[in-house]
Amino acid sequence: MSCEEEVVKIGKKLEKMIANNSTDHSSASDLLKKLKDIKMNLNVLQKTRIGMTVNNFRKASKDEEVISVAKSLIKGWKKLLPAGDSSSSQGAAKVERKDSSNGDTQTLSQSAGNSPSSEEKSADNMAADGAFSSCTAANTSDPTRLKCRELLANALKVTEGLDGMGDPENIAGHIEEYIFNEFDNTNTKYKNRVRSRVANLRDLKNPQLRENVLLGLIAPEKIAKMTAEEMASDDMQELRRKYTKQSIDDHHMATTSGTRSDLFKCGKCGKKNTTYTQLQTRSSDEPMTTFVFCNECGNRWKFC
C-alpha cells in the first residue's frame, strides 16, 4: 500500500469516528500515531487534505492525549511547507500611522522576523510551490489597505480553535498585499476583489476553504486570485454542476425534441428560425403551454 493510500484510509476512519461521535480514544490515538510514523510529504498532504481531517478530529475530541498528538501532527506537517525559516516571529514591532481624517495617531502591532532577510523578501518570493511563507507582510499606512487587512483577518478568525494553524493577521496581510500588487491601487476592482475573499472566507457553510488557507494548503497568492467558482464549497460546486447539466439538457431537448417552425418570430434577433415544444403545465382542461427556442441566437420564451 502506498503512502497516499494509507493516509486516505486512516483519514476515512477518522472522519467516520467524527461522524459517529465516537469516544474510542485508544483507536483514535493508534490512528494518529500511525500517521506520525508515515513519512509524509507536501504532495500527499495536499492531495489527501489529512491536515483538515486531523484538525477537525482534534476539535471534536475531549481526550487530552488525542488532542496533544493531533496538535503535534499539524505542527510537524506545517514544517513541510517550503517557506524558509519556520521559526516565525518572536518580537513585535509597533508602527504608528496618522489617520488623515481626524489627525489621531493609531498604533498597529505587527510581527517582526528574526532575520532582516525575511523582511526584504519580495512578494513574488513569499510563496514557493504554492505554499505559504512565514515571513511578515510588508507594512502599510494606507487606511483603506489596513481596513481590508482587518476584514480579511476577521473572516479567517471565524474558525474556532486556531491552535496549530497560521496567524490570521499575517496571512490576511499577505492576501491583501498580493491583491494590491495586482491592481497597484485601492480602486473599485481592488475593493471588489477583497470583498469577494471576505465573503467566501466568512461563509459558515464553507469551513474547508478557511481551514485550507489557515493550514497553508492554499497559499495567500492563490486565494488572492481564485474565482468565485474555485472558492465555493463542494456542495455549491456540485449544485452548480447540476444546474449546468440541467441547462444543457434543456437546450438539447429544445433543439432535438422540438418541432422546427417559422410561425414564431424571435423578439431578440427578429428571425423566424425557431423550434417549439408543447407541455401540459396547467390543469387538463387548460390549453398546453408552448415553449419556443430560437435556433439563431439561442433565445427562449413562452408563447401563451
CA distance 279 to 276: 10
CA distance 112 to 107: 15
Is a pLDDT exceeding 50 seen at residue 100?
no
- One domain for residues 211 and 102: yes
Is a pLDDT exceeding 80 seen at residue 285?
no
- One domain for residues 136 and 208: yes
The CATH number of the domain holding residue 72 is 1.20.930.10
CA dist 203 → 86, 155, 191, 200, 223 (Å): 29, 9, 18, 5, 15
- One domain for residues 102 and 203: yes
Could you say which of 181, 213, 232 is where a domain stops? Answer: 232
**Mean pLDDT confidence for 3-22:** 81
- One domain for residues 167 and 203: yes
> Which cell goes with 54?
486531523
- One domain for residues 106 and 183: yes
CA dist 249 → 106, 197, 198, 276 (Å): 58, 33, 35, 15
The answer to pTM > 0.75 is no
Range(s) of the domain holding residue 39 = 3-78
Domain assignment of residue 84, yes or no: no
| Count of structural domains within the chain | 3
- Paired strand residues for 275: 260, 293
CA distance 14 to 163: 19
Four-residue CA torsion sign, 7, 77, 50, 22: positive
Most confident of 100-109, 191-200, 252-261: 191-200
Is a pLDDT exceeding 60 seen at residue 247?
yes
- One domain for residues 42 and 155: no
Q: Helix, strand or coil for residue 295?
A: coil
- One domain for residues 124 and 32: no
| Residue pLDDT, tens place only, 40-49 | 887 887 778 7
Q: Where are the beta strands (DSSP E) in the chain?
A: 91-98, 105-112, 127-128, 131-132, 259-261, 274-279, 289-294, 300-303
| Residue pLDDT, tens place only, 160-182 | 655 556 788 889 999 999 999 99
Helix (H) or strand (E) holding 180: helix 168-183
| Residue pLDDT, tens place only, 195-212 | 999 999 998 888 888 888
What average pLDDT does the chain have? 74
Is a pLDDT exceeding 90 seen at residue 150?
yes
Report the first-to-last Cα separation within the chain, whole angstroms: 63
